[in-house]
Structure 1
């Protein structure tokens, strides 16, 4: 899979951009603030319908414009399709394939697959659990796009349930029958949606585990495959379906992205956990059980990465997570577009060269760099100077 052409209208710093691209490595070179990251951000947004830099769509639209458009010609297995997203802050976004409107913008998610490395990736190992949950959910959606809707529905139900808990905790005059019946409705939906997300995440981590260990050994100098450990830590006990082997690294491939987990038993455990913590939830006014409270545990040897790993080890681990994501998507049958956004300037020479060698055979690699010298020789290919492309001010 590769992007053959990118068109932007009022996206970030660009009034308009019309950019042909080729398979293989392409380096987009420019000083900070000229807009190089905006180009790769647009491609990644088309894949996931979210940005790796900001949490809302508003900053993606050029100041003074009402909407932005990202359009890309994507080639897969020799066939080309034109994917387009119209970004409308405060209103519903719109999406098209080959100029034909889609019922919902989210229907375009996952049609182009990307794996993006950026300096922000250190948050995967040093940041809050929410950063690691987002990593899992983004990968989950790329592999099974319909789960974008499941995740969105879960977030809506969670907000409604939290509001009910908060109001009930503050207003003791509300009849308990009303509260219990209303809470039961939200509980049923939370359990149904949350059990699916938890099952998919857990099975996906099972598949990632050996890939992360292998990638870490390849990136980190003198590291062994046994050093990088990754585990999913849910707030609800996991139960395997009879006869299923949860140590199978291919356990979540195929038609069921949830792998061999017993979802009915998981739903029962979820409901029991909600009931057990009801009093605490009322006191705090928030939902304390569910995938929004889960963690992705990362360790090097016997010690957690966060708080114990050196800067170099943390970088190696973050790179290993991204490389493992790439290998998992590739195993699904696609060769994702690899995006290396200002990564090489953050790495020492040894890690820089190892990473470049590991990704050099990808179908398409897009690299951004402030200076050409930061781009390893093995990724020498097409070189684009941002100053020759910019049609507006720069901000990335």
Structure 2
């Protein structure tokens, strides 16, 4: 898979960008704050419908604009598909596939598949559980786009149920004394049913994903840090006390049915505590990935280098799993080589050399391994007087072009400009 053409309008710092891409390696070089990462972030957003840098869409819209546009033409096994996404401030985003509007933006999931490595990846190991849940859920929905709808439904039910616990908690606590809390309790039971149905499907999909990821992660970590202890991956579930015995070969629907029953039992077990605290204590929003080196948890035990190796191994395992599914994902490397030592750089470069399309950013060209120089674009800033400063991008011949199999436009060819953010 590769993106042949990318167009941005009012996305982040880019007022307008129209960029032709190709197979092989493309490197965007420039100082910090020039808009390099914004280009890669746009491609990744089409893949996951989320940003690796911010939790909301508002920062993705250029200052002063009401919306932003990401449009791309992707090629997968000779099949060309166009997709575009309009991101709105304060209202629903809109998407089109082959120029035709789709009812829900999640219908474009799968058109572009990518795996992104970024300095923020260290949060996968050292950050809070939400970072690791997000890693799982994004990979899960890239592989099975239908689950994006299940996640959205679960989040909606969770918000409604949480609001009920907060607003009607006192009434429900007094229900046993004949107050009007019986109605609130009956409503809570309805939400329990929806929460269990959607939550069980998410947990079942996550458990299956962790089982498939685990051997890839162990192998990837061993190749990066062979002198270290063995890496392993597990899933810590809030239903642990109520879960049925694991059946690795069971269909996903059967696993979800068993987990739904377990979730109902868990909700009954913690009901009094939930009402007293006003929060939902059971469900996939309370779960976490278990990352271990030998017998020890990575968080709090691993060194800085081991933590980086584990984060890199997690991304490599996701990349290998998508490949195993039959799709060659786009590899996005956002300013990571400056963070890695030689061994880790070589491990990542080895994967990149075998990948159909690689998009790389670097502050200086020397940060990129020689074998990944490829086609090079220089991203810089130009002063436009009263109009302010703009990001500009121009093509430049790179030392690795011939080896990467990519041609380069003339060095003085200016592609597009955009306001710097």
Q: Return the TM-score normalized by structure 1.
A: 0.93
Find the residue that maps to 1:70 and give its secondary structure.
strand
1:70 and 2:75 equivalent?
Answer: no
Equivalent in the alignment of 1:180: 185
User: What's the C-alpha RMSD, in Å, of the aligned pairs?
Assistant: 1.6
The aligned runs of 1:92-107 (5 Å cut-off) are 92-107=92-107
Cα distance per residue 1:258-304 (max 9 Å; x no partner): 38x63222111100110010110011100000000011000111111
Larger Rg: 2
Find the residue that maps to 1:386 and give its secondary structure.
strand
Equivalent in the alignment of 1:44: 44
Find the residue that maps to 2:289 and give its secondary structure.
strand
- Structure 2: distance between partners of 1:66 and 1:170: 43
1:156 and 2:156 equivalent?
Answer: yes
- Structure 2: distance between partners of 1:272 and 1:211: 34
- Structure 2: distance between partners of 1:349 and 1:262: 43
Find the residue that maps to 1:69 and give its secondary structure.
strand
The answer on whether the counterparts of 1:113 and 1:337 sit within 8 Å (CA) in structure 2 is: yes
- Structure 2: distance between partners of 1:111 and 1:322: 20
Q: Return the TM-score normalized by structure 2.
A: 0.88
Cα distance per residue 1:90-143 (max 9 Å; x no partner): 111110012111111121122211100000000000000111000000001100
Equivalent in the alignment of 1:230: 233
CA shift for structure 1 position 219: 1.4
1:87 and 2:87 equivalent?
Answer: yes
Unaligned segments of structure 2, at least 5 residues: 381-391, 394-415
The answer on whether the counterparts of 1:2 and 1:337 sit within 8 Å (CA) in structure 2 is: yes
- Structure 2: distance between partners of 1:350 and 1:216: 12
The answer on whether the counterparts of 2:234 and 2:289 sit within 8 Å (CA) in structure 1 is: yes
1:239 and 2:244 equivalent?
Answer: yes
Equivalent pairs, count: 381
The aligned runs of 1:360-371 (5 Å cut-off) are 360-371=353-364
1:60 and 2:60 equivalent?
Answer: yes
Unaligned segments of structure 1, at least 5 residues: none
The answer on whether the counterparts of 2:69 and 2:85 sit within 8 Å (CA) in structure 1 is: yes
Find the residue that maps to 1:229 and give its secondary structure.
strand
Find the residue that maps to 1:391 and give its secondary structure.
strand
Cα distance per residue 1:148-194 (max 9 Å; x no partner): 11101101100110111111224458613201210111011000000
The match for 1:384 among 377, 381, 385 is: 377
Higher RCO (Cα < 8 Å, 6 or more apart): 1
Find the residue that maps to 1:64 and give its secondary structure.
coil
Deviating beyond 6 angstroms after TM superposition, the runs of 4 or more aligned structure 1 residues are none
CA shift for structure 1 position 221: 4.3
1:266 and 2:259 equivalent?
Answer: yes
1:313 and 2:316 equivalent?
Answer: no
Equivalent in the alignment of 2:213: 208
